[in-house]
Amino acid sequence: MDRLFDTVIVRPPGESYKNCVSTNPKHKSIDVNLAKKQHKEHVKILKEHGLEVIELKSLENNPDSVFVQDTGIVGVNSNLTVLSRFGEPSRRGEEESIKEVLKKEDFKIRHVEEHGTIEGGDVLVTDQGVVFVGLSQRTNTEGIKQQVQFFPEVKFISVPISKIFHLLSGVNYLGNKTVAISPHAVDIEYFKGFKFITIPEDELYANNMLYLGEKKVLLPVGYPKTEEKLRREGFKPVLVNVSEFWKGDGGVTCLNLPFYKHL
């Protein structure tokens, strides 16, 4: 199995989700009941594909907490979790909510200290001994520097981004040294040596996809060109409707905190 992770943490949206931080013009039309249904469907798909899913309770005091990926970086190989220090100040504190769960799973816990910031959505883990980190509005140089110190066995490459919030909104790893990438949002020069599947500019949102292993890729519904490109390369798209998370500036990857096997 070429999966990057076998276990993920998820957290359903609470009633407060409609108050999440979002620049999407449709933000005000978030339907929380529909978001809850879509989240359940997302979890069902993960389980159907053999992943172990640790389901947490929603956090009403943290409207963005459904986007649990951002709370930390979990490495199975190193038995280490680095808890994020959010670049978005209103989200600080969310990382504490997963600490107890990860302690129960016997992970050592480390914290990114002030003045560093890092969010999980900026961290692209591969099985090639290299991790790419977005230098973004949410993740700064000091946060990346601390990350490098926590995982000394891994090579880190810093990738500056300005057109997207998080690196994983513009590039994702699909196993076998292949990345799905949006060249208008992320400079492909940083990914030399990898095979590229370029995502059309008008389907940027589809680039926020999740590799499930065995050529299966979880993809938001409604992006036919991306779907076709993936099929042509031998991948099997698995479609999920995440319209209410799109409205909250989130995507497929954001809804899971993976336990990375190669970190």
pTM score above 0.85: yes
Walk me through the domains of the chain, giving residue ranges and CATH numbers. Answer: 5-16+31-260 (3.75.10.10)
61-120 pLDDT, tens digit per residue, is 999 999 999 999 999 999 999 999 999 999 999 999 899 999 999 999 999 999 999 999
Q: What angle do CA 102, 98, 77 make, to 5 degrees?
A: 35
Burial of residue 137 (CB within 10 Å: 0-12, 13-18, 19+) is: middle
Q: What are phi and psi of 241, to 5 degrees?
A: -90, 115
Residue 31 pLDDT? 98
Residue 53 pLDDT? 98
- β-pair partners for 259: 74
How far apart CA 250 and CA 210 sit, in angstroms, is: 13
Q: How many CB atoms lie within 10 A of CB 41?
A: 13
221-252 pLDDT, tens digit per residue, is 999 999 999 999 999 999 999 999 999 999 99
Return the percentage of the chain with pLDDT > 90, whole number: 99
The pLDDT-based confidence of 1 (bands split at 50, 70, 90) is confident
Mean pLDDT score of the chain: 97
Residues identified as active-site: 166, 254
